[in-house]
Amino acid sequence: MLLIEQLPNGEMSMAKNRALQDLYDRVIARDLCTACGACASLCPYLLSFETRMVKLHDCDLADGRCFAYCPRIAVDLDSLHQKIFQKPYQDIEMGPSLQIVMARATEEVFQREGQNGGVVSTLMNFAIGIGMIDSAILTQRNVHQLPEGRLARNREEILACAGSSYVAGPTLEVLNKKDAGNRERIGVVGTPCQVLALEKMRTSNLPKRTAIDQVELIVGLFCTWALRYDSFVQFLMARVDSSRIMKLDITPPPERLLKVTTDSEILEIPLDEIGSFIRPACRVCLDMTSELSDISVGTVEGLEGWSTVVVRTRQGEKLLEQAEKTKVIDVQPLPEAKLKHLKDASLLKKRRALESLRGGGELENGYLLLSTDLIAEILSETDKAVI
């Protein structure tokens, strides 16, 4: 398979996909790995260890799935949008949408255990209950706060994965490990980079040897950045026993605090103290709201216990409509001011990413395949955004 790549001078060239070595040179060695897990357990030469990808040996494949699936290599948003939404990449504020609302779970246990009203956990539990999917690939923190992918098939397993960790983890590795012969329908909850990787997996021309074709539902999470596991957990352990942590939450401006809920107290840590733990790969990500998912969910700033819900596909629309009709979630209009703030935040993340990409330095340059005119349009729109 040949990939079109943009060179630093703006010209296009055809580059041979050299698989694992190219992935290592261009992403892993340059600290641009998102730890999404899309390449993990595809072959015996690549291993995930505490959210880091480790190359054990080189391989001689010319066309590697590890390279093709990576969300930090040869991202062609026009092509992906055409395949998913049947139109080019043009909804530059925060991606395509059929409906944008705010919602919360009606059941107290999902509100308590979940994040921002428990909408994501409720929707996955409901999707299994109505037979839309048979299982869900979720992220669960272990007692050491290490995020791990888990295949959940019932309410108890879903609740065990409720809540956010803010640490990037190889959730998609579960999909690669799953027996493709078991034809159950799968739902996946993921961050923007994980959703991008999933769509690259689904649309790749390479032979599929995983269960990617069984994915029937993608629920994307809003994400501004993710943290490195090792340095962040060391930082936390200096303040609290990690096994006592029950929940992590980030408050909106002007507070900007990481709230760490333990079995006996709530610690409040200024976000400025954890900024150095943000993964470098996050600085070249344009997507804050998981724009390629079926349905996206994130916080409503200033309204505790509510989630913003962005419906993007008919599958996502069907799920939300049935969940609301069955009264497992409460759905309300999203205030216009909240939507405007979300769009501005999304645009500003795109601008920061484009500036990092165009700035060169240690960051990957040229992996994003966008026209000069579209880049100029994004930059123009961000000039109007006010946060």
Q: Using CA atoms, how far apart are residues 247 and 165, in angstroms rounded to an integer?
A: 8
Domain holding 245, by residue range, is 229-276
Q: Do 114 and 204 have their domain in common? A: yes
The answer to whether 68 and 38 are in contact (CB under 8 A) is: no
Whether 358 has a pLDDT exceeding 70, the answer reads: yes
Q: What is the CATH number of the domain that holds 261?
A: 3.10.450
Q: What is the pLDDT of residue 16?
A: 54
**How far, in Å, CA of 349 to CA of 278, rounded?**
14
Q: Are residues 138 and 255 in the same domain?
A: no
- Using one digit for the tens of pLDDT, what is the confidence trace for 312-325? 999 999 999 999 99
Are both 3 and 52 inside the same structural domain? yes
Instruction: Tell me, yes or no, whether 118 and 245 share the same domain.
Output: no
| Residue 93 shares a structural domain with residue 212 | yes
Q: Are residues 325 and 376 in the same domain?
A: yes
Residue 6: what pLDDT? 44
Shared domain check, 128 and 272: no
Which is nearest to 283 in space by CA: 387, 356, 382, 358?
356
Mean of the pLDDT values across residues 165-181?
A: 87
Q: How far apart are the first and last CA of the chain?
A: 42
Same domain, 185 and 271: no
Percentage of residues in the chain with pLDDT exceeding 70? 92
Q: Residue 242 contacts by C-beta under 8 Å, 6 or more apart in sequence? A: 143, 144, 145, 233, 236
Does one domain contain both 164 and 246?
Answer: no
Of all residues in the chain, what percent carry a pLDDT higher than 90? 61
Could you give the angle at the alpha carbon of 172 between the alpha carbons of 293 and 30, nearest 5°? 100
Banded model confidence at residue 363, pLDDT cuts 50, 70, 90: very low
Stated pTM of the model: 0.91
Total domains, the chain: 2
Instruction: Convert the pLDDT of each residue in 118-169 to its tens digit.
Output: 999 999 999 999 999 999 999 998 888 889 999 999 999 999 999 888 998 9
191 and 340 both lie in a single domain: yes
Residues 8 and 82 in one domain: yes
Model confidence pLDDT, tens digit, residues 46-90: 888 888 888 888 887 878 899 999 999 888 899 999 999 999 999
Are the beta carbons of 329 and 123 closer than 8 angstroms?
yes
151 and 295 share one domain: yes
pLDDT above 70 for 14: no
